[in-house]
Structure 1
Amino acid sequence: MDPITPAYGATVLLLIAAAAVALLLVLIIKVKLHAFVALVVVSVLTAVAAGIPVADIPTALLAGFGGTLGAVALLVGFGVMLGRLLELTGGAQVLADTMINRFGEQRAPLALGVAALLFGFPIFFDAGLVVFLPIILTVARRFGGSVLTYALPAAGAFAAMHAIVPPHPGPVAAGEFVGADLGVVLLVGLPVAIVSWFVGSYLVSRYLGARFQVDVPTVLFGRENDGIEVDAAGEKQATRLPSFWTVVGLLLIPLVLITGNTLVNTLRTAGKISDDAVWADVLTLLGTTSVALLIALLVAIAVFGTRGRSMADTTRILDEALAPICSIILITGAGGMFGFVLRTSGIGSALTDSLSDVGLPLLLQAFVISTVLRVAQGSATVALTTTAGLIASQATEAGYGDFKLTLIVIAIAAGATVLSHVNDSGFWLVSRFFGMDEATTLKTWTVMETTLGLSAFGLASLLWLFA
């Protein structure tokens, strides 16, 4: 469904969006209404208030909900089943022990973040987070304390790579809009993403982890694992732990497949691969995130799932892994619905028109416009592409070289990262995966996303002085 012609000006639409967010927070935090119900109710009310034709409201709601579920449900389902097998057979424990032995307890959060930076190069934020979830929870359970100490550095690493570094779609689209060379965007964006992550995510997460005590959630994987099985009679039986390289090889399957997909799409965009190449189509299919995770899950079932148990037992384990994530998927889908209603109401186009001539330096203008769009409608990708399209002509007229154009792309990505809140489906994914209520998620995840984006913009501004 395409955005409608805005029924009101940007100021009124912004007030409607602000009122909708405030109502949602009151219903969830004060009234204690279930987040899924509250999101649906507020989405309907927002659609009516924003002037979406009544006949189009059901279509808008279903498009937002279904579009988000299409991206999230398969990914979370396959990822959680894979994570459950990894944890139940001791695979996650093997990874955690090896990481701890090599980096030490004090540097475990840093090691998790660095590993997430590597995995985050080709893998989208949500997919990377799902794959890393059992490792994060196992390390957190091993040492105790707040799960945020270990979760936020890894989640922040995936967020930084997804927002700033090609071949992720946001920075690629923004680079193409403003005419920046994507090779330069990659070469400059990668170190900026790493430094921004270290300052705005890793260091900040140490403070947040010490201030906010969030227990390791048990709803997804339980507690008693560490390579110990429970047989049909209910008695514990020790199992042989898989080797470190077996587990790493399993995790590399989706990484390699998704990387292949990314490379093929990048080369096709550059005209290096024919659109009719069948082998490229096959790699694209195998590297689709949900398909790649399905293949990894099938391999895990073959390697781990039949170790000392029947296929019926493995099926029961996988079935039990799916039950707790129903709420996560529904709430994430409803969060996507809320954001989609805001976008469909025309708030993006109204803001674009009103911000098209704000009289700020172009780098600051790129950051401000992207931030406003991110806060107003929730989608980082929409904020990235809309802002890049808006300032593309100004960037062309200024005659900037590739380096300054790249810094503009980074500024746009920084603005699209800050202030993740209740209209962002990623907010709900992080909230539910790590067992946080909405208020705690706003005080931790939202704060960390903001410091991450501000760090990236600060680096871009500093480099601009020497460009």
Structure 2
Amino acid sequence: MEELVLAERPVWLLLTIAVVAIVLLLVLIIKTRLHAFFSLLIIAVATGLAAGIGVGDVIDVVIAGFSTTVGTVALLVGFGAVLGRLIEITGGAQVLADKMLDTFGEKRAPLALAVASLLYAFPIFLDAGFIVMLPVIYTVARRLGGSFMLYVLPSIASFMMMHALLPPHPGPTAAATVMGADVGLVIIVGLLIGLPTWYLGGYLVARVIARRYPDTPVPALLGEPREVPKDERPSFGSILLVLLMPLVLIFLNTGMATLEASGSVTEDNVLLQFSRLIGATPVALALSALTAMVLLYVLPRRRKGQEVGGLLEELVDDALSPVCAIILITGAGGAFGRVLTETGIGGEVANGLDAMGLPLIVAAYLVTTAMRIAQGSATVAATTGASIMAPAIMAGDFSAIAVSAVVIAIGSASIGWSHVNDSGFWLIGKFCGFDTVTTFKTWSLVGTTISLVGFALSALVFVIAA
């Protein structure tokens, strides 16, 4: 898209427009009950026009934001939903739930789900990993009863912390690269800060919030539950294989990319090229979904002489149908975020904060927070915040641990303060069956407490190590 020419607007007016736009959006969704997809697109266009984007350009900006977000999310959500539905419909989720409850006990089920989510979230993006974990969360929640919140919020906290604070997730990886930090050291410091951050700001807070919603039902967004007889369920090893496959493929890609960056392998290395193909997250999920189709569905039915083709097609349709609306809403959220980004609101505020002479790690957190609130994307916020702060880091004499702590502070800022311009706000909220207000009180609140605790701990490490 060609560079936009914006009509001049003072910063105070741009900020006012952004605030009014968010308020009007919430009124449309909560009060008038207009569908979020339409509400987001209407407000995105109106905000662009009010902020100075020309009539001939505003639709292009909205379409660019929508298509970029959908292009990223649709494949992850689509393949993840199919994989999750296959695990549920074949009884795999019941196998995992039984194994988890036998190992940890019913009282520790929320903690077990949260720890499993931590492990699964290490290499996989938040949205894709969470959707694959959902059938297991659904099954445990239905089995044990009580509020769905008790089981899903701790898992959400796990995915949020890992996505924000630890490479190879894109935000912290980009921040570490821009600021010249050692990615391996960032992972170590990120774990030292991230695990207590997850427990204090994520898991415990999620448990407290869940008590406020004692009667939240388990949604059926991936299809109606089906109790599969024990003798028809797949083996634990088969389920583990299809779940671990994307992790292994993504780790292979990350490892080869690291070797290339260090000069150990060259661009024309066959394994490097192959890992780039199969280790891309959408491809890894697609291969896992196809493997699950064959291993969990096709082969067991063919052994019994049962029909496969038409039923498999119907199963995939059932998995994809509920997520279409979620993908559209997520894309509309990306369009609104893109409009706010193009107005330059976040950049103006961030530059002002950077010039205030605050302690470096405080400025890094506030600058990234401004970008997060202004445009929604955690990855963009972390990358932009790191780019703004990089000259100060380069000019200072900071230890490698101190620089890693700044990267973690930036990552912490990027996950907090989520609201209606964040595609994740809509994606996770809709998959959990939350309305807009409930999403604010759960997803947004957990992310913000993780953000604050992560910043406090990273600031402590920075002071000690600087």
Shift of 1:394: 1.4
Change (3 A) 1:38 1:204: same
- Tell me which of 395, 398, 422 is aligned to 1:397: 395
Q: Which amino acid aligns with 2:147?
A: S
Contact 1:123–1:259 (CA<8 Å) still a contact in 2? no
**Residue 17 (structure 2) aligns with:** 16
**Residue 64 (structure 1) aligns with:** 65
Question: Partners of 2:9 and 2:266 in 1: how far apart?
Answer: 46
**Residue 122 (structure 2) aligns with:** 121
Question: Partners of 1:259 and 1:359 in 2: how far apart?
Answer: 40
Question: Partners of 1:22 and 1:54 in 2: how far apart?
Answer: 23
Question: Partners of 2:285 and 2:268 in 1: how far apart?
Answer: 26
Change (3 A) 1:347 1:270: farther
5 Å-filtered alignment, 1:224-263, equals: 225-227=226-228, 240-263=232-255
Question: Partners of 1:137 and 1:115 in 2: how far apart?
Answer: 14
Question: Partners of 1:285 and 1:125 in 2: how far apart?
Answer: 21
**Residue 273 (structure 2) aligns with:** 281
Shift of 1:10: 2.9
Which secondary structure does the structure 1 equivalent of 2:122 belong to? coil
Deviations 1:136-177 (A, max 9, x none): 111111112222211122122111111111122211221222
Q: Structure 2: which 5+ residue stretches go unaligned?
A: none
In the alignment, structure 1 residue 222 sits paired with structure 2 residue 224: yes
**Residue 434 (structure 1) aligns with:** 432
Q: TM-score, normalised by structure 1?
A: 0.94
5 Å-filtered alignment, 1:41-440, equals: 41-212=42-213, 213-223=215-225, 225-227=226-228, 240-306=232-298, 307-308=300-301, 309=306, 310-440=308-438
Q: Which amino acid aligns with 1:246?
A: S
Deviations 1:32-84 (A, max 9, x none): 10011101101110111111122111211111111111111111111111111
Shift of 1:9: 3.3
Q: Structure 1: which 5+ residue stretches go unaligned?
A: 229-237
Shift of 1:2: 6.9
Question: Partners of 1:444 and 1:349 in 2: how far apart?
Answer: 28
Change (3 A) 1:262 1:3: farther
Question: Partners of 1:328 and 1:3 in 2: how far apart?
Answer: 30
Contact 2:4–2:57 (CA<8 Å) still a contact in 1? no
Aligned length: 457
Change (3 A) 1:413 1:55: same
Question: Partners of 2:342 and 2:61 in 1: how far apart?
Answer: 7
Shift of 1:430: 0.7
Contact 2:250–2:279 (CA<8 Å) still a contact in 1? yes
Q: Which amino acid aligns with 2:101?
A: I
Q: Which amino acid aligns with 2:128?
A: A
Q: Which moved more, 1:207-216 or 1:20-29?
A: 207-216
Change (3 A) 1:411 1:96: same
Q: Which amino acid aligns with 1:101?
A: D
Deviations 1:372-400 (A, max 9, x none): 11111111111111111111121222211
Deviations 1:161-203 (A, max 9, x none): 1111112221122122222222221111112111111111110
Shift of 1:109: 1.1
Contact 2:127–2:428 (CA<8 Å) still a contact in 1? no
Q: Which amino acid aligns with 1:214?
A: T
Q: TM-score, normalised by structure 2?
A: 0.95
Question: Partners of 1:171 and 1:91 in 2: how far apart?
Answer: 33
Q: Which moved more, 1:269-278 or 1:62-71?
A: 269-278
Question: Partners of 2:398 and 2:408 in 1: how far apart?
Answer: 15
Shift of 1:461: 2.0
Q: Which moved more, 1:300-309 or 1:16-25?
A: 300-309
Shift of 1:4: 4.1
